[in-house]
Structure formats: structure tokens, C-alpha cells
Amino acid sequence: MQHIITIPLTHIRRDQNQPRSHFDAQALLELADSIKQCGVLQPILVREDPEKSSHFIVIAGERRYQASKRAGLKEVPCLVRADSIAQVRSIQLHENFNRENLSLAEIIEGVREYKAAWLAENPKGKLTNKALAAAVGQNTTFISRLLKLDSAPVTLLNAVYEGTINNINVASNLTDLHALSPETFESVWGEYNDGQVTGSFEKHTAGILKNTKILAEGGLVLPECNEYGVFDTKHESVQRLRFSVDAFCFEILSLEVEKGVWICAYDCYFHHSYSSSPLSIKAKDRYSSQREAELAMLTKWIVPAAKFACRNLPNHLHSRFRKLFAEFNRLLDNLAGEPELPKRVKPVPEKINGGETTISVCNELCAVVGTLDAVYRALVSNFNKSPEQANKALVSSLKCLMVDVENGSLSCSTAT
């Protein structure tokens, strides 16, 4: 049966291999004030010092030991135990895990100390991750990730021991990433050191590691889907085919979702006509290549949409639309054909008879009279035309002028 005894503080020393190497100074001062008023309420766990008779080494309760010295106590209550080194390390790790968070570096060293002590006491034994996890009060996943750090790159270990990296999941992800692709590790590490990583670094490293594993296994990295199954088209794995000429443009989006399996979507804007389709995991049409997917989008959707849009196309856009169809034919090996553009009929100028003189209301008359207002007044006053008839004649003449300008048959001096 163990008994609590009082031991002078001068006969007690700290364990140099204690996992915790740092204690919060403010917390120690507060504990020292409490000890001054109430004393040490819980005994300090110690073991006999093998180097000095009647002297002891702290197993658990170092904070109370340090605070007692600051409080000016001469002696403290202790519980002496005859534990093996491995048991001592186990007790220390349990205490520190349960009371204050150890740094990742302190945990690594503590577990290493426990493993070394256990193997020294059990040279023919095998320490499993499950037994190690139970001994230090953690789960097997934590222990597996911790032991993985034995193969971590030096740059990462330095960051762990400097306290820059104190998350076991981040350290484990980066260690695995380095093993899979040192180049990718260096890239991620450079982004981290340059402050280019926003949000959770743990999620960032987990995502990079996942994609690197997929690529290493010959798989494909897909963009994220929203709640409707539509892919993020900004992802680097989405392939694009674009063409644009003024008011006419189209874009085809292709994504390989499995080896040799492609899905496709499109966006097109032709003058005032717009149509598109989503890049969705639910897409029924699947293609064996990116080229096949692009040709399907062109023949099924984009070219028909362009042909529909050109039915009422203004004459001044015809040449640009022909450029669009030239691109279609280049992509489709001349299978797109030619656009059926609307034909423009040149209006016949209206002739107005006035007594012995016949006046043609057309560009020549405008050049002679000078202004539309003068022509209008002449039609009404000199040729007895109603305002409606005069307006109609002027509109017809203006249409003729527009056609002449478009066809290049009217000179600037005449138009003026």
C-alpha cells in the first residue's frame, strides 16, 4: 500500500526526459499564489533517484513542484512509486495530455522516450500501435500519424520543433505528400511560407494529398460539384475550346470524368441570341475523347443555334458571321456549310409627276436640293403631295441611300 510522505524540495529534482519542456509562466505564478494560501492539495508523484540515496525524481506533478518552489515552500507531500521507466513515461504522457496541450514536438519526444524504455525492458516484445496508444492515452490513428513523422523531411521536422507546425494532421499530410511527390511538397511548402494559403491549412494539405494520390494511381482529379451535380468550370482539369469575333462567340467545356469517358457543355452568344448547358455529373451523353465531345457540341447545339440566330441578322454583321462559319467549317472539316443570311432588296425610288416636270426622289435629288426639309417642302408645295405621300417618298429615298452606302456605290460627296 502506498503512503503519502513529506519530502524536502531540496531532495527532489525534475525529470530531464519529461515530455513537457515548456510551462506557462503566468499559469505557474497563479498556481504559486494558490499554493501559498491553500498548500499543495494533491501530492506529487515521484520515484527514487537511482543516483542519490533519499532523493527523488518527479514522475507527475512538475507544475506543482515548480510552483511550490516559487511559493517558498520547504517541503511538499509526495507519493513514491516504484515504476519502470516505461511506466513513468506513460504516466507523464497521460498527465500532460489530460491537463494541458503538449506541443507536437513534446509529444513526439515523449512517445519516443516511452517506446525506447518499453523496448529496453521488453527486448523480445513487439509494441503494437494499439498498445502504444493505450499507454499514452491516445487513439491509434493519432499514433499512426505520429510515428509517420519519423520519415518526415527535415524542413517539416524543423518547423515542428520550432512550433510553426503544431497540427498532427497537417504534419502527417505533408509527410505523405513528400513521399508521393517531393515536387508537390516543395510547391505547397513554398506557398505556405509565402503566406499564399488562405483558409484552413489542414484542409488545403488534405485536398492536395488526395489529388496527388489519385494522380499517382493513374486516376483523374475532378473539380468540386455543387448540390445540383454541376462541376466548378474554373477548375484546371476542365478543357476549353473558345472562338470569338465581335458579337459572336462560343465556348465548349470538356471534362474527363473517367479514363476515356468525357462529358461536355457549351456557352454561345450570337448577336442577341444566347444558349448554354451545364457541365454536370448527371449528363447522359458520354464521349470517348475530347475531340468527339467537342464535335458533338458543335453539330448538335452550337451550329444550329448560329443558323437560327442569323435569320434576321442586320446586313452590316454578315461579314463577321461568315467568319464564324469559317471557324465552324475548320473545326468540322467543312461540314457546317454556309450561313443562310437574309437577302436585302434595294428599294425602287418613287417617282413623282408634277405638271410638265418629273422629279425623282432619290440621292440625286437630295444632292441637288440639299436638305430633306427642302425636299419635303417642295413635294408638298410644288407637287401637291399630301404630307403622308411626301414622307413615304422620302423614306423610300433614304432606303436607297442606305443600300448604296452598304454596297459602296455611293460616294461621300454625293451622300453629303
Query: In angstroms, rounded to a whole number, what is the distance separating the alpha carbons of residues 281 and 283?
Result: 6
Cβ-based neighbours of 301, under 8 Å, separated by 6 or more = 266, 268, 275, 277
Q: Half-sphere exposure of residue 134, counting CA atoms within 13 Å on the CB side?
A: 4
**Of 311, 309, 303, the residue nearest 333 (C-alpha):** 303
Residue 80, helix vs strand vs coil: strand
- Beta carbons within 10 angstroms of residue 341's beta carbon: 16
| Residue 201, all three cell numbers | 491549412
Tell me the sheet residues that pair with 357.
Answer: 354
Active site residue 406: no
Is 52 exposed, middle or buried, given 0-12, 13-18 or 19+ CB atoms closer than 10 A?
exposed
Phi, psi torsion values for 164, nearest 5 degrees: -70, -40
Tell me the sheet residues that pair with 273.
Answer: 270
The residue with cell 443555334 is 305
Return the exposure string of 359-379: e unless at least 16 CB atoms fall within 10 Å of the residue's CB, then b: bebbbebbeebeeeeebbebb
**Of 82, 71, 1, the residue nearest 40 (C-alpha):** 71
| Residue 416, all three cell numbers | 453629303
Query: In angstroms, rounded to a whole number, what is the distance separating the alpha carbons of residues 328 and 321?
Result: 11
Beta pairing class for 248-258 and 44-48: unpaired
Q: Please, are residues 377 and 367 in contact by the beta-carbon 8 Å criterion?
A: no
Query: In angstroms, rounded to a whole number, what is the distance separating the alpha carbons of residues 355 and 252?
Result: 66
Q: Which of 48, 51, 62, 121 is catalytic?
A: 62
Query: In angstroms, rounded to a whole number, what is the distance separating the alpha carbons of residues 74 and 62?
Result: 16
Number of H helices, E strands in the chain: 17, 11
| Residue 205, all three cell numbers | 494539405
Tell me the sheet residues that pair with 27.
Answer: none
SS (H, E, C) 260-272: CEEEEEEEEEECC
Residues annotated as catalytic are 62
